[in-house]
Chains A and B, each alone.
Chain A
Amino acid sequence: MERAVRTTDRPRDGLPRSDLLEMYRLMVGERLLAEMGRDPGLTERVFLVGIAEGQEAIAVGSCMALRRAATRAAGAFPDIVVGNYGRDVMGLSYRDILLETIGKAAGRCGGKGGPIHLAAPELGLMSGGGIVGTPLPLAAGFAFAVRHRGTDQVVITYFGDGASNQGLFHEGINLAAVRKLPVIFFCVNNLYAFTTPMARSTSVRQVADRAAAYSIPGVTVDGNDVLAVYDAVSQAAQRARAGDGPSLIEAMTFRWIGPTETGEEKPRPAHEVAAARERDPVARFRAHLLESGLASAADVEAVDDGVRGELDAAFREALAAPWPPLASLQDGVWATPLETGR
C-alpha cells in the first residue's frame, strides 16, 4: 500500500556527528534485539513489543529529539515517554530491557510488568497500559502533572493506527488540546491493526488528517527516515515546550513480522514485506552516513560489532538471571498496607 507522504525538511545542521552515530548504534541495537529475541535456540520467548524489524527509525528518531536523562542539564527532568517505544533510547540498558521482558526478578518491575508495562520513571519511561488507546489520555494526565509542577517537560505517547479508532484516542487528544497540554501524539502507522489492514478499518486516508478535528497540527512523515522523524518531533517538542499545545505526528512504517513477533498470526502479504524491506530504515541510514562522509565503513562496522557484543552479554545475563521467588506473588498489591479491625 503506497501512500503519499510528506517528508519534513531534514535538519541540515545542529546534529553533531556523535549524535548521528548514536542514532545509528541504537537502530542497529533494535534490529539485533528483534532478531536475537526470535532466535529459536533461546530458552525463553523474548516478546519485545515496541521493537520490531522495519520500525527502528520510530523510537530512535523521536526520542533522540527529546530531553533524555543522559543529556539533560543538571536539575532538569527528562521528558516523558508513555508507551512501548524508546526504552533503549531514553537510557534503559539492554540488560534491564531483557530482564523485565523475560520476566526475571531483577527486572525493573520485578518481572510483574513485562514488556508492555516496563517502566523506569527516573528515565521518563512510564507504562502506556495494556489497552491500545489508553496511552493517549494517560499522556494527557502526565502532561497535566507537568503543568501543575511547572517544569518544562514534554510528554510523547506512541500508539498505532489501530488505536486511532478507539474512543480513548478522541478523548485523550481533545483533553490535551482543550488545555493546551505539552503532548506529542505519535501514531506509528504500520498499516495494520493486528492483522486488519488500515483501509478496512479507518475512514481517513491518513491518521494525521484527524488532527483537524482538534485544531492541532497534524503531520505525516516517512517513518523509515530517522532524520525526518527526528525533525518532526523536534518541531512538536518545541511547540509543546513553548506552551502552544499538542501535535499529532503520523509516521508511516511497516513491521516485517507481525505484531506478536512470532509469526503466529496471519503473515503480512509477501509483496508488502518485500516492498518494506526495500525501505529498510537501518540500511537507509547507514547509506546516508556513508554517502555523506559522516562515517566510514570501518566506523559503521565498529558500531555493528560493538552492539552485537553488548547484546550477546545482555542476553546471556538476562537468561541466566533467577526467576522471581514465588513468595513475591502477593507482594506489592497495596501501597498502603491493609489494616482492618481495632
Chain B
Amino acid sequence: MRTISFTEALNECLEQTMGLDPDVVLFGESIGDGDGIYGVTRGLLQRFGEGRVVDTPISEGGFSAMGVAAAMAGLRPVVEIMHVDFLFVGADALVNQAPKYHYISGGQFRVPIVFRMAYGLGEFPGGGAMQFQSLHAMFLGLPGLKVVLPSNPADAKGLLHASILDDDPVVFFEDKKLYSRTGPVPEALFTVPLGHAAVLREGSDVTIVATGSRVEVACHVSDGLRGLASVEVIDPRTLRPLDEAALVASARKTGRVLVFDEGHRTGGFAGEVAAVIAEACPEALRAFRRVMAPDVPVPYSPPLATAMVPGAMDLRAAITAVLKAT
C-alpha cells in the first residue's frame, strides 16, 4: 500500500468525499488560496470553486453558526477552526446550537456538520497558551456531539469520511504533531466507523488507553518492554461514542489502566475512562493512573512547553509504578 502523510490523508478524504457529494462544502479561514494553515485543504478551491470552498472572514462565531444552519438545511459542511483555542471566541454554534437541534426539534432537523480543528503542541516558534491547548475533553459533556481523535493517517481518512457521512455534529481533533506523520492509507474511500476502539498491542499486565499522537509513543513503549511486561495499547479513536466494552474488557484482563493523553489531568478524558471502568468492574481494577499534561497553561518557552506533553519516560515510570500493584 502506498504511504502518505496525515495531512495528505485528510486532504484526499475531503477531495474524494466532495467529489461524491456536491452538498459537502468547506468553511474556514484561509482554506482556499491559503490551503488551510496545515495544508489540509490544498487544491480544493481550484477543483471545487468558491461556492464550495468558502474562505471566511476571521469570524469563528459567525461562520460556525453559518455552518450549523447550512447543515440544518441539508448540506454537509466541514468547518475548519484553525486551533481549538480559537473556537471559544464563538463557541455558541458548537456548544449551544449544533448538538441540540435534532433533539429539540423533535427530529425535524439533522445537523450533519464536522468541525475540524488542530490541538496540542505544534512546531516552534509559535503556539503558547492560546494556540497549543489540548481541550478535546471539554466537549465530552455535550450530548448530541460526537468527538473524534484520529491517531494515524489511515484512521484520519476513514474517521473523517465517517464523520462527514454521520448525521450528527462531530468535532474532529487533529493532533498537530501528526500532520507530517506518514503511514499506509488505502487510495479508495473508506470509513472507520465511529465508536470502535482499536487494540494496537495485546497484553495482559497493563492497559494503556492512548489518544492522538500519544498512541504511537505507547506502542513504542509496549514494544520496548516486550519480555519484561505485557502491555496492551488501546486507541479509542472516538471519545464519544466511546467503545466502553473494549475498555472494560481490557481492564478486566489486566487490572491496571493508564490513560495517556495530552489533555490536562483534571476534568479530562481519564476521569471518564475511570468512571466507565469503576462502574463496570470495580473488583478487577487494581491500579489506575493519568499520564497526562499537568494543570498549567501552556507556556511559550520551548523546553517548558515540551515538558508539558506526557512522553515515553512518563509512561514507563507509570507502568513500573502500577506493576507493583497486586
Contacts and interface: CB of A to CB of B under 8 A. Distances in A.
B69 A139 contact: yes
B92 A134 contact: yes
B62 A175 contact: yes
Interface in A143-185: 144-149, 167-168, 170-172, 174-175, 178-179
Given A137-B63, A339-B241, A144 B106 contact: no
A131 B72 contact: no
A142 B77 CA distance: 12
Given A138-B65, A175-B63, A332 B103 contact: yes
Contacts of B196: 340-342
Interface string B242-277: 111110000000000000000000000000000000
B168 A138 contact: no
Interface stretch (B51-59, B129-137, B219-227, B278-286): B51-59
B97 A142 contact: no
A129 B243 contact: no
A141 B27 CA distance: 11
Nearest to B195: A340
B133 to A, nearest CB: 21
B265 to A, nearest CB: 25
A110 B93 CA distance: 23
B64 to A, nearest CB: 8
A78 to B, nearest CB: 13
Nearest to A175: B62
A112 interface: yes
Interface of A: 82, 107-110, 112-114, 117, 119-121, 126-127, 129-131, 134, 136-142, 144-149, 167-168, 170-172, 174-175, 178-179, 332-336, 338-342
Given A119-B109, A340-B241, A174 B59 contact: yes
B37 interface: no
Given A110-B106, A148-B75, A336-B166, A140 B143 contact: no
A127 B104 contact: yes
A339 to B, nearest CB: 6
A178 B63 CA distance: 12
Contacts of A172: 62, 65-66
Interface core residue of A112, A141, A174 (most chain B CB under 10 Å): A141
